Amino acid sequence: MPVRLAITPGEPAGVGPELLVKLAQQDFNAELVVFADREMLRQRAKDIGLHLDIIDADFNTTPQRHRAGQLQVVNIPCSSPAIAGILNADNAKYVLETLRQATDACIAGHCDGLVTGPVQKSIINDAGIAFSGHTEFLAERCNVDKVVMMLASEQLRVALVTTHLPLSAVPAAITSDNLQRVTEILHSALIQQFGCQQPRILVLGLNPHAGEGGHMGREEIDTIIPCLEQLRQRGWQLDGPLPADTAFTPRHLEHCDAVLAMYHDQGLPVLKYQGFGQAVNITLGLPIVRTSVDHGTALDLAGSGRADSGSFNAALTTAISMAEHSSRNSY
Ligand SMILES: NC(=O)c1ccc[n+]([C@@H]2O[C@H](COP(=O)([O-])OP(=O)(O)OC[C@H]3O[C@@H](n4cnc5c(N)ncnc54)[C@H](O)[C@@H]3O)[C@@H](O)[C@H]2O)c1
Ligand SMILES: N[C@H](C(=O)O)[C@H](O)COP(=O)(O)O
């Protein structure tokens, strides 16, 4: 039986909806159920000159493979008409409602995984709603106090110790407890979800030159090194802390299953330089499968049909294989 995925197209003024309409023109070995405004999807299909049959989703039927040209939809209306490329704070609540309903469908077992399109964090904040990202939202919705953001391309996996917070708040968030729990979640996911029998993780330092022996910052000496030493006593293969500037070189990456970066813009620019357009954002540590695209709302391209659907496609196929893997392992 094919798996059933819940999909949120994200910000209705961004490229998410049209990328989904584009991808719906091909077959998938899974049922795709979109949580979104039906009319907005029809309009985006029209904007980019594609045809789409929209069918009401029904969780009481056996999941069927996705057939090109159709989309099953749980209709959640926008508050205001959504115009491609033009943000409207009125629709912030709609965006979060699509996420809530799609997540709850996974928690309830109606869907086997969640794939999210890009949201515009700033417009949600402009609407007066505290929101820093899907990763944090999903942790709260799933009642989990620690999750890990990992972006993966075919060549590289980069996980983060801290996610969406100002750079000035990063050092205080690099605590021994945080680093240990993130490493544990990553280590376990590499074994259970990515088939690495004895994962090798390359851990970056926080400061230039990994602190230059304490002359350029003490987080390595005070926190990172002692934490890694403790975890190595479990027999885990943890390299580092390595200076971030030279860690992403072939010699270091050759035998590593994932790089653990201390903060968002230490790790993700390298991953996106290498794999933008085919990389996938995966949330580790949730009770549900969740993947997403490697890009944002690309308002400059919205409605043009020119946005690249490679990462959304990769997010869908990764979620399908993760959901198949987890349903096989639950029997
Ligand atoms: N998964 C997510 O929800 C997610 C991920 C990243 C950024 N964002 C949000 O998106 C908003 C805009 O962020 P940004 O401007 O930093 O990044 P962005 O990814 O939207 O755009 C950066 C550049 O990449 C281009 N680009 C993005 N997606 C593309 C695609 N599919 N095909 C071709 N070109 C593409 C854009 O045109 C732009 O030039 C922010 O609010 C940010 O928080 C959301
Ligand atoms: N940090 C992600 C990126 O740069 O691609 C992006 O902001 C999405 O994060 P969430 O999945 O937590 O929204």
Q: What is the pLDDT of residues 96-127, one digit of tens each?
A: 999 999 999 999 999 999 999 999 999 999 99
Residue nearest to atom 16 of ligand 1 (CA): 296
pTM higher than 0.90, yes or no? yes
Measured between alpha carbons, how far is 161 from 261 in angstroms, rounded to an integer? 6
Residues 6+ apart with CB under 8 A from 122: none
The domain over range 1-144+286-331 is classified in CATH as 3.40.50.150: no
Average pLDDT (131-150) is 97
Q: What does the DSSP assignment read for 175-206?
A: -HHHHHHHHHHHHHHHHHTT--SS-EEEEE-S
Question: Class of the 145-281 domain?
Answer: alpha beta
Mean pLDDT of the region 160-186: 98
Q: Which residues line ligand 1 (CB under 6 A)?
A: 10, 15, 118-122, 134, 281, 292-293, 295-298, 300-301, 307-308
pLDDT at site 331: 46
**What's the DSSP call for residue 27?**
-
Average pLDDT, the chain: 96
pLDDT attached to residue 330: 64
Asked if pLDDT for residue 56 goes beyond 90, the answer is: yes
What's the CA-to-centroid distance between 127 and ligand 2, angstroms? 19
Is the beta carbon of 133 within 6 A of some atom in ligand 2? yes
Q: What percent of the chain has pLDDT over 90?
A: 98
- Residues 74-84 have a mean pLDDT of 96
Handedness of CA 75, 76, 78, 83 (dihedral sign): negative
The average pLDDT across 270-291 equals 97
Distance 243 CA to ligand 2 centre (A): 24
Q: Compute the distance between CA of residue 64 and CA of residue 100 in angstroms, rounded to an integer.
A: 24
Give pLDDT tens digits for 288-320: 999 999 999 999 999 999 999 999 999 999 999
Identify the CA nearest to 261 among candidates 157, 172, 331, 190: 157
The count of other CB atoms within 10 Å of the CB of residue 163 is: 17
pLDDT band at 199 (very low <50, low <70, confident <90, very high): very high
Q: How far is the CA of 328 from the centre of ligand 1 (A)?
A: 34
Task: Return the residue whose CA atom lies nearest to atom 5 of ligand 2.
Answer: 294
Pairing of strands 113-116, 3-8: parallel
Q: Where are the domains of the chain?
A: 1-144+286-331, 145-281
* Mean pLDDT for the stretch of residues 1-27: 97
- pLDDT greater than 80 at residue 284: yes
Checking if the pLDDT of 326 tops 90, the result is: no
ipTM of the complex: 0.98
The pLDDT tens digits of the residues spanning 130-139 come to 999 999 999 9
Candidate of 134, 141, 311 to mutate for ligand 2, largest count of ligand atoms within 8 Å of Cβ = 134
What's the mean pLDDT in 230-238? 98
Whole-angstrom distance, CA of residue 205 vs CA of residue 247:
10
